[in-house]
Structure 1
Amino acid sequence: MLTEATRATAPATAAKALLAVRGLEAWYGESHVLHGIDFDVAPGEVVTLLGRNGAGKTTTLKSIIGIMGKRKGSVSFDGTETINLPSRTIARLGIGFVPEERGIYSSLNVEENLLLPPQVKPGGLTLEQIFELFPNLKERLKSQGTKLSGGEQQMLAIGRILRTGANLLLLDEPTEGLAPVIIDQIGRTIAKLKREGFTIILVEQNFRFAATVADRHYVVEQGKVVDMIPNEALERNIDKLHGYLGV
């Protein structure tokens, strides 16, 4: 059940939503993973999906971008219903997905990895703008993509999507396994992208990091959104959040 705070917030958010997800269900083969996901994201917002491992957070991102084998419900992006569209069409609407495993091509160098995805919309960042965000990439331009450190590979995966013109970014566990100094850099990058008008959905286990960048937090349990906590209310709901996450 959604809390009263969630119900009170949802209609106002839905009225201006860039992304509206309603009754989203998804399956891996015969395994029913999502059981009616509902949430909204307004233009320019950063929201997180929080929850224990296996709750359905990554599956939600994959369902939004259309790479699940079976899904049903409604996913509306900028007024376009996408639930029956193939992933290549969804991406061209302006949704970019950075998977947890990053998807760096081992046979390509940094520059080739950056240039590989097509531009789907006007407004994508130039290489120079990407290098302003991630100076390390410019220094490693001719290095093989998979020879980079974990942090550099994460920068490359995010930079590659920013070049395409996508304005909704789906980031799956962007700080996992990274050193604190790199996590800080990723956080500064997300904050800058937000200031520049990007909309971001972040799956993140590190809710302390999420609190530094997000506007709102959706809690996912057993394939459903069970709560929404505004970032300004996070501290006074910390015990409840610990209960959700099993901390």
Structure 2
Amino acid sequence: MREAATLSETATPGGDALLSVSGLNGWYGESHVLHGVEFDVRPGEVVTLLGRNGAGKTSTLCAIMGLLGKRTGSVKFRGTETITLQPRHIARLGIGFCPEERGIFSSLNVEENLMLPPRIAEGGLTVERIYQLFPNLLERRRSQGTKLSGGEQQMLAIGRILRTGAKLLLLDEPTEGLAPVIVQQIGATIRELKKEGFTIVLVEQNLRFAASVADRHCVVEQGRVIDMIPNTELDNNIDKLHGYLGV
């Protein structure tokens, strides 16, 4: 099997991409955190952003959503340039963001949280379908956000963006701190969503989990994508990846 393809062959945005990120720079105040991020995501793919803590993975998702104070470069979704758009306009193009902190409204119950975001396109999942994906939420549908476990909050955060009609999902550390059985359920859900046509960019620290769901892995270091490893070639490049991640 050949070596992992070079960055120039695989991470440069292409014409068939659903999401194309090119020369993306980003700042938090005066702090320059992204330094020319480049990668693309094709329709129906699951792509992970891997890297050490502080590498710029979450900042990349925030920059795609327009949540950084300043960003330059290019972020195209379905061919539309979004670099000058406000977050609310980016979301309405069909991008759903599930942040690491989840953002559950604690005073609302599960079903009220699910129904809160507006629909932005046809094709969003029904509440009934979301309950099929996450049976725990059906059991807790009348429970307030403050009474949910961490795993249930994560399921709710993911379920909430599925109802909106967004087709590109940005998931930031969805398995962090969760019990193995919940991690398995979230993995099964991501694979099911892929079958249903969703495209996913996933920030993840758990390499084993990432390998179970992803098509490709983009390695982020010091605010840049420095390598891209197809999941089919992961075994041949595991030592190199461990070097990148400091495992």
TM over 0.5: yes
Equivalent residue number for residue 84 of structure 1? 84
- Contact kept, 8 Å, 2:11 with 2:228, in 1: the verdict is no
User: TM-score normalized by structure 2?
Assistant: 0.97
- Contact kept, 8 Å, 2:94 with 2:165, in 1: the verdict is yes
Equivalent residue number for residue 232 of structure 1? 232
Structure 2: distance between partners of 1:152 and 1:26: 32
Amino acid at match of 1:51: G
Amino acid at match of 1:81: E
Equivalent residue number for residue 8 of structure 1? 9
Equivalent residue number for residue 58 of structure 1? 58
- Structure 2 SS opposite 1:102: coil
Cα deviation, residue 107, structure 1: 1.0
- Contact kept, 8 Å, 2:46 with 2:213, in 1: the verdict is yes
Kindly, what percent of the aligned residue pairs are identical? 75
Cα deviation per residue 1:182-205 (whole Å; 9 max; x = unaligned)? 000000000000001000000000
Equivalent residue number for residue 27 of structure 2? 27
- Structure 2 SS opposite 1:84: coil
Paired residue total: 244
- Contact kept, 8 Å, 2:108 with 2:144, in 1: the verdict is yes
Cα deviation per residue 1:179-228 (whole Å; 9 max; x = unaligned)? 11000000000000000100000000001100000000000000000000
Are positions 1:43 and 2:43 aligned together? yes
Q: Report matched runs for 1:1-247 at 5 Å.
A: 4-10=5-11, 14-247=14-247
Cα deviation per residue 1:122-154 (whole Å; 9 max; x = unaligned)? 110000000000011111111011210111100
Instruction: Return 5+ residue gaps in structure 1 as ranges.
Output: none
- Structure 1 SS opposite 2:6: helix
Structure 1: distance between partners of 2:51 and 2:11: 20
- Structure 2 SS opposite 1:96: strand
Structure 1: distance between partners of 2:184 and 2:159: 16
CA RMSD of aligned residues (A): 1.1
Instruction: Return 5+ residue gaps in structure 2 as ranges.
Output: none
- Structure 1 SS opposite 2:58: helix
Amino acid at match of 2:146: T
Cα deviation, residue 5, structure 1: 3.0
Amino acid at match of 1:53: N
Structure 1: distance between partners of 2:205 and 2:84: 30
Cα deviation, residue 4, structure 1: 4.8
